[in-house]
Structure 1
Amino acid sequence: MKVPLIVLACCATSIYAQNPTAELLEQIIRIDNSNPPGNEAKLDDLLAAKLKPLGFEIDIIPTPRPGKSHLIARLKGNGSAKPILLASHGDTVGVEREKWSVDPFGAVEKDGYIYGRGAIDFKGGIAVFGEAVMELARNKVPLRRDVIWLVEADEESAPFNTTWLAERAWDKMNCEFALNEGGWTMKQPSGRVRYVSISTADKSSLSLLITARGTSTHSSMPRPDNAIFTLANALAKLSRYDSNPMLTASTKQF
C-alpha cells in the first residue's frame, strides 16, 4: 500500500509555496478554538463538509457541553488489515492579544510563514493529516486498512477528552496503531530541513497531593505535631524515593 508521507514538524509553519495544505491551515486558524470553551464543533463542521463529498464516513460525537464535539472520519479499505488512526486535537490554548503583533485568528502570511493561534499546536498537524487523507480519497488509492482520522476535543483541558470519548465510541476508534503529534524538525542554518524525528514513546508523570495536619497554636508555644515539619519530612523522604526507572524497548534502541 502506498500512502502519502505524513510529517509533523514542530516548528514555525512555513509556506514556501501556496498549496492546499496551507490553504486549509489558514481556514482553520481563522476559527477560534481557544479552550475554554473550545468550540470544536465549528471546526468539525468545516472539516466534515470537505470530507463527506470524498466518500468519508463521518461521525461527530457531541459532548454534554454545547459547541464541543469530536470528529471521527473513516476512509474505508478492503479490511485485510486493521485500521490506522491519525490523532489530532482541534482545541488550542487561550490568547493574550496584547502580546501578539498580528491577529491570532487572522492566519497572517508574513516572511513565508503563517502566523496564528494553533499554527503549530495543533492546527498545523490537522492541515497535514487532513490533506494527506483527502489525497488518498481523491486519488482512489487502494487501501488494505481503513484510515481513521480523529480530531478530538478537550486535549488542552478536561473533562470531555479522549478518555471520555473512548468510553463511548471505542468501536469507532479501534485500530492496530495510531500516529499522534510529537517529534521535532531539525534545520540547518540555511533553513533546509536536516531531519524529522519520530517520537515512539513518552515518559509518564506522577502527581502527588500531600496533606499534613497538626494542632493550631501560637508560635510562642510550639507543639511537636507541627504540620509544617511533618510536611517537610514527607518531602525529604520523597526526594530519596527510588522510582526504579526502566528503559523501554524504544529507548534501548537508541
Structure 2
Amino acid sequence: MTAMVLSWFFMGLIAAFSSARLYKALKGTEWKENTYKTSFMFPGISFAIFFVLNALIWGQGSSGAVPLGTMFVLVCLWLGISVPLVFVGSYLGFKKPVIEDPVKTNKIPRQVPKQPWYLKPIFSMLVRGILPFGVIFIEFFFVLTSIWLNQFYYIVRYLFIALVILIITCAETTIILCYFHLRGEDYNWWWRAYLTAGSSALYLFLYSVFYFFTKLEITKFVSCLLYFGYMLIASYAFFVLTGTIGFYTCLWFVWKIYSSLKID
C-alpha cells in the first residue's frame, strides 16, 4: 500500500511531462489549464469519492475508517509533493521542441461525409468496448472475490498476462475502428479513440453490479454505498487506463500511415 501511494504521488512528474508534450503537439496553448487538470482531475475526483465513503464509515463508528490524521497526511503529500512535481514535469514538457506533424494539413476543416450506421459514435464505441472487457472479466471475477469475500488470490502471473492481452486488445480494436473512419474520410478520431477503448469501463462497472446481486449478501445501506463507491473509483481508473492506451495507439497508427505518404 505504501508503494502504491508513493508511486501515485511521484508519477505526477511523468504524467505532467507526457501530458504537456502531447498537448503541445496538438497545438494547445492553455498550458496552465492543462497542468491544473493533470494535477487535480483524476486524483481530485478519486479522493473526493474516497473522502465521502470514509466519512460514511466514520459515521458508523467503524474501526475500518481511515483516521483523520492519515487523511490529512495524504492531502499534504498530494499538495506538497505530487502537485509541485506535476508543475515541474509540465514545465519540462513544454520546454521540449514541439513534435512536428508528418504532413501538412489544411487549416480549413473539410466536410465529413455521412457515415454508415455501424460507424455511428455511440454504437461503435459501445460495441467495441465489449472486447477489452471480455479479455479480463474472468480475472476480474477472482479479483472481486479476493477483495470482497476475503479469499486469497495466488495466480498473479495470469493477471499480468491478462493485462498484456488487455493492452493488445485495446490497441487493435481502436486501430481497426480508426482505420474504418479514415477510410470514410472522417478525421475526428481523437476522442473517439479514447472513448472506444475507455467504454470497457462501463461494462466493468455493470459487471460489478451483477456480482453484487449474485455473489454478495450485503444488506446495510452504508455497506452498499461503500461497495459501489469503490467500484466506481476502480471503473474510473480503468476508463483512464484503457482510454489512454486506445488514444496513444491510434496516434501512433495515424502518425505511421501519414509519415509513409510521398507527396511531391
Shorter-chain TM-score tier:
under 0.3
TM-score, normalised via structure 1 length: 0.23
- Structure with max Cα Rg: 1
TM-score, normalised via structure 2 length: 0.22
Is the helix fraction higher in 1 or 2? 2
Is the strand fraction higher in 1 or 2? 1
